Amino acid sequence: MMFDAMDISKFDIRGQIISDESIETYVLNETFTYNSGGRDTPPNYTLVYIDSEKLYFGQKSAKSSGKTSETRHSSISLDNYFRKIIK
């Protein structure tokens, strides 16, 4: 798959909380500093969970949009993850 857009973000990890699935996660505030598409991307308030070489992010719900720290994602999706590739 080819991507033709690039986002650069600043990640600020702030402590730990328990997700809706009872998983111990980290609080993550993501601030976009550059977007190749010229979009004005708002901050993202989510969760992050690391399991060995897999990195999972929080997911939106009706009450947890992630648009503010008060509406931070409260659930983790274990279906989608990023994998660390060691060369």
Indicate yes or no: pTM above 0.85: no
What integer pLDDT is reported at residue 74 of this predicted model?
Answer: 94
Question: For tokens 């809706």, what's the residue?
Answer: 20
**Residues in CB range of 26: below 8 A, 6 or more apart:** 13, 14, 15, 16, 47, 48, 49, 50
With beta carbons less than 8 A apart as the criterion, state whether 49 and 22 touch.
no
**How far apart are the C-alpha atoms of 55 and 52, rounded to whole Å?**
8
Tens of pLDDT, residue by residue over 18-65, are 999 999 999 999 998 887 777 778 899 999 999 888 999 999 888 899
What integer pLDDT is reported at residue 45 of this predicted model?
Answer: 95
